[in-house]
């Protein structure tokens, strides 16, 4: 049965208080609020991930809590962070039919469970099973704060209008099953039907003209208004306004979810009060690298980290490439040394400090700037130009820790420069299949002074395909590419590619909208849908980083001028703007 046993639901008491409902209605009338709110499309943007199905388990309370975390992550940080109901449900050790309240689930995720991981880490099934999760769960879980209890209807509406959705529960009477939820009308108890149980949902809006709360259900499709999984329940009906509702604010996303939205020597971490610090790593020129960061709160100042100077005695070719990884949210960093070697460092969160894994034992002499990603199986991939002007891929096995040659992407005498343009995308990814992998894409500069896109399926051993060529007059400078989350309807939509490259002292901004990338994969013989959309800056030597972060979904870039200084640039609706000079001594190639 989809409705949970009423007495099993925590934090709720049986019985409906008419007096309390009337007081709530009076409270609403005292304040000025919008007449309707709908987070399915708020301010013209989609905010809610795909509808799920709990059937036949009594786990609606877990689905409501999980959907709340997904929505708030999207609202606060822009990214789609689909979460695993199983990770929360199974970790608590409850059975398929056991009821509860979203407050209990949220409190567990806050205090006991260290957040909620992604579906590939622990796939939901509608059976009782032990908690079996991926080995790197700690770096794949969105961490959450303590929940906020919302008891007043007016406060609940204000929260919906200004913060985000809220989790709630209500009594399920027998007439609920016969209500026509395919029409946009609010359910009202007929006054005589008996109690069948209770149910928990995510309230994603309200409509005073309809007279009810807009809620997201967990009964799959085609239930709901136009079969979309949503319905309305009337104000004051079935204890929905008697029982406490719950919200959260200031979530801390995991680096695994962000991995396709950043590239180069800067990324957005979960550090800082609002969990959106920029972490940047710059070459010291002749000896090691320096860690620099920018707080995610005003005045947004750049500063060097404590003990920032790290060295293995090697000069870095260009700039390092860094990321936050799924391994306990450790920072990972690779760079090509002036001696042609690949070098790997990591910062351990468990025993705070930087550690070098030494020079990676590769046969090839490297002569380009690397692309560096964590792939779907948690292994690392590096794509970089060799001294023979070919493009090679190297993989670090996540179980053994060993690096090895994986593939020749482009033959000798074809590539003039590589860069941090390697993207582990969501194209071709099924997040409900633990073995599914999104396609990999990379762009390099060729000796024909153009850029070329290469791609392969995400599975190990897949062959690389040489595809579109675009641009002209591109001299050997590193292209930097990410996958964005603009134009995405939910977590399944392939985001577009955003690419920056320095050409003749300016930065060219290129874009590929990936609406049909699954049905029409990139192929050789043309530029495809690539478009140059902006040009900015003067006296620019290289671009070293690009990310799409939490600040109004804008793009953030790090560029190097001809004097070796690093500068932070930001893209908003008004275009690209220079923000600040990054601390540190000039350097670079």
Classify 324 as helix, strand or coil: strand
pLDDT of res. 444: 98
Upstream peptide bond of 222 is cis (omega within 30 degrees of 0): yes
Closest CA to 237 of 155, 152, 170: 170
Q: Are 89 and 98 in contact (CB under 8 A)?
A: no
Q: Under CATH, which architecture does the 255-581 domain have?
A: 6 Propeller (2.120)
The residue extents of the domains of the chain are 6-247, 255-581
Fold of 6-247: Cathepsin B; Chain A (3.90.70)
pLDDT of res. 22: 31
pLDDT of res. 307: 61
Q: Are 445 and 469 in contact (CB under 8 A)?
A: no
pLDDT of res. 31: 54
Upstream peptide bond of 56 is cis (omega within 30 degrees of 0): yes
Q: Is 167 left (phi over 0), alpha (psi -120 to 50) or beta?
A: beta
Classify 162 as helix, strand or coil: helix
C-alpha to C-alpha distance for 486 and 491, rounded to whole angstroms: 11
- Ranges under pLDDT 70 in the chain: 1-31, 307-312, 361, 587-589
6 contacts: CB under 8 Å, gap ≥ 6? 12, 14, 171, 195, 197, 198
The model's pTM is: 0.92
Q: Are 392 and 408 in contact (CB under 8 A)?
A: yes
3-state secondary structure 384-420: EEECCCCEEEEEECCCCCCEEEEEEEECCCCEEECCC
Residue carrying the six token digits 């591109």: 474
How many residues would you count in the chain?
589
158 contacts: CB under 8 Å, gap ≥ 6? 31, 33
The sign of the CA dihedral 377, 373, 113, 251 is negative
Give whole-number Cα distances, 354 to 312, 330, 333, 397, in Å: 11, 10, 10, 21
Give whole-number Cα distances, 50 to 81, 108, 178, 237, in Å: 11, 24, 25, 27
Give whole-number Cα distances, 242 to 15, 185, 214, in Å: 9, 21, 17
3-state secondary structure 538-579: CCEEEEEEEEECCCCCCEEEEEEECCCCEEEEEEECCEEEEE
pLDDT tens sequence across 3-41: 333 223 333 222 223 232 333 333 333 458 999 999 999
pLDDT tens sequence across 257-284: 999 999 999 999 999 999 999 999 999 8
pLDDT of res. 301: 95
């Amino acid at each position: 049965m989809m409705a949970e046993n009423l007495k099993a639901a925590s934090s709720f008491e049986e019985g409906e208080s008419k007096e309390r409902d009337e007081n709530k209605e009076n409270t609403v009338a005292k304040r000025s609020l919008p007449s309707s709110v709908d987070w399915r499309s708020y301010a013209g943007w989609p905010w809610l991930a795909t509808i799920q199905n709990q059937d036949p388990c009594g786990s609606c309370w877990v689905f409501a809590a999980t959907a709340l975390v997904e929505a708030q992550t999207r609202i606060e940080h822009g990214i789609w962070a689909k979460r695993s109901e199983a990770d929360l449900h199974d970790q608590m050790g409850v059975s398929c039919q056991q009821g509860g309240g979203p407050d209990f689930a949220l409190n567990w995720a806050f205090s006991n469970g260290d957040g909620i991981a992604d579906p590939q880490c622990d796939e939901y099934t509608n059976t009782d099973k032990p908690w079996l999760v991926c080995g790197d769960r700690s770096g794949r879980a969105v961490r959450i704060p303590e929940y906020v209890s919302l008891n007043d209807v007016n406060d609940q509406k204000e929260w919906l209008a200004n913060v985000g959705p809220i989790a709630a529960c209500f009594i399920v009477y027998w007439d609920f099953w016969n209500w026509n939820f395919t029409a946009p009308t609010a359910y009202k108890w007929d006054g005589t039907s008996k109690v069948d149980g209770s149910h928990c949902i995510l309230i994603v809006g309200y409509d005073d003209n309809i007279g009810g709360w807009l809620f997201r259900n967990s009964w799959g499709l085609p239930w709901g208004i136009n079969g979309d999984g949503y319905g309305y329940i009337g104000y004051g009906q079935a204890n929905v306004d008697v029982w406490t509702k719950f919200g959260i604010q200031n979530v801390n996303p995991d680096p695994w979810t962000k991995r396709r939205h950043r590239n180069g020597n800067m990324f957005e971490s979960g550090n800082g009060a609002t969990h959106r610090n920029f972490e940047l790593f710059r070459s010291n020129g002749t000896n090691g690298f320096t860690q620099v960061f920018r707080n995610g709160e005003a005045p947004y100042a750049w500063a060097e980290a404590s003990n920032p100077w790290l060295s293995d005695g090697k000069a870095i070719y260009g700039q390092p490439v860094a990321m936050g990884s799924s391994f306990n949210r450790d920072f990972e960093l690779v760079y090509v040394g002036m001696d042609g070697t690949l070098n790997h460092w990591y910062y351990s969160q468990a025993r705070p400090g930087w550690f070098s894994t030494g020079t990676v034992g590769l046969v090839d002499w490297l002569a380009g700037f690397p692309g560096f990603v964590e792939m779907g199986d948690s292994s690392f991939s590096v794509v970089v130009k060799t001294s023979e002007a070919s493009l090679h891929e190297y993989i670090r096995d996540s179980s053994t820790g060993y690096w090895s040659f994986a593939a020749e992407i482009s033959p000798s005498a074809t590539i003039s420069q590589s860069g941090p343009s390697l993207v582990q995308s969501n194209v071709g990814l099924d997040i409900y299949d633990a073995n599914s992998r999104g396609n990999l894409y990379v762009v390099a500069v060729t000796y024909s002074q153009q850029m070329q896109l290469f791609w392969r399926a995400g599975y190990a051993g897949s062959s690389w395909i040489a595809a579109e060529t675009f641009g002209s007059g591109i001299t050997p400078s590193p292209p930097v590419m990410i996958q964005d989350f603009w134009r995405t309807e939910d977590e399944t939509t392939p985001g577009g590619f955003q690419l920056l490259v320095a050409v003749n002292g300016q930065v060219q901004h290129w874009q590929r909208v990936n609406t049909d990338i699954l049905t029409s994969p990139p192929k050789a013989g043309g530029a495809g849908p690539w478009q140059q959309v902006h040009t900015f800056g003067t006296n620019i030597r290289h671009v070293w980083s690009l990310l799409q972060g939490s600040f109004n979904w804008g793009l953030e870039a790090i560029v190097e001028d001809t004097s070796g200084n690093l500068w932070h640039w930001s893209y908003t609706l008004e275009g690209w703007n220079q923000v600040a000079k990054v601390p540190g001594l000039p350097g670079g190639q």
